[in-house]
Amino acid sequence: MAQLILFLLLVLITCNTISIAYPTGAPISACQSMKPGHVGVYPQSKPAPYIMKINSSLYQPGKPIQVQIQGPPYRGILLQARTYSKPTLYGTWLEPPNNTKILACPENTLGSITHSNTNFKDQSTTYIWMPPDSSCPNVLFFVATVAEAFNIYWLGVRSAIIFKDPAVGCSNSVNTGQSVFLAVNSGTAWQPALIPVMCLQLVLFLLFGHFEP
């Protein structure tokens, strides 16, 4: 009996935790890790069915680059421009396409884009990125977490590399790089509203399954 109550309590706590939902976009806490943080839900280990398409392999200040994600329709997204072995988010996202929004990560408040609802986005969803004016790394790439559904997502979906156009200037002052402040916050999720319902059903099942005469 005591064990059952303990178990129910655990289920309730878990359900309550994962009910803190992010159907309206990735949270600030995902800025660095890019992990949705679904409780008990792990990224897919098989290769992502997504290809990130970009319209240029060179970048230069003032010239926007277009990014599209080809593959099955997806519901959740967190998209950033990065370079190797640095936590810096580069550049800024312009006008977010329908069903998406800017995620104001600390230090680069325009450097991430995420979903604003769980409607499907697809390969016609076009993200426009403006390169930085200074501290341009020699190479950049776009990287995304793409969620097809609450429990199906891929981390580290990457574009091809984009090189800094050697023909144009970009001041290389070191201090304007915008690094991400890391706040670890596990136990929260981007998720459709279904989960609380499932949790409630689980709790009811456990209660009534065990207490029924």
Ligand X SMILES: *[C@@H]1O[C@H](CO)[C@@H](O)[C@H](O)[C@H]1NC(C)=O
Name the site residues for ligand X (rule: CB under 6 A): 55-56, 64-66, 98, 128
Kindly state the smallest distance separating residue 104's Cβ from ligand X, in Å. Answer: 22
Which residue's CB is nearer to ligand X, number 64 or number 87? 64
Rg (CA), the chain: 20
Task: Output 70 or 201, the one with its CB closest to ligand X.
Answer: 70
What 8-state DSSP symbol labels residue 111? S
Nearer to ligand X, 98 or 171 (CB): 98
User: At closest approach, how far in Å is the CB of 75 from ligand X?
Assistant: 16
When the beta carbons of 159 and 188 are compared against ligand X, the nearer one is 159
- Tell me how far apart the alpha carbons of residues 38 and 155 are, in angstroms, rounded to a whole number: 13
Measured CA to CA, the distance from residue 162 to residue 159 in angstroms comes to 8
CA 108 centroid distance within chain: 15
CB of 126 to ligand X, least distance (A): 7
CA distance 147 to 27: 14
DSSP letter at 2 equals: H
Q: How open is the CA angle 114-136-79, to the nearest 5 degrees?
A: 10
**Closest approach of ligand X to the CB of residue 175, in Å:** 29
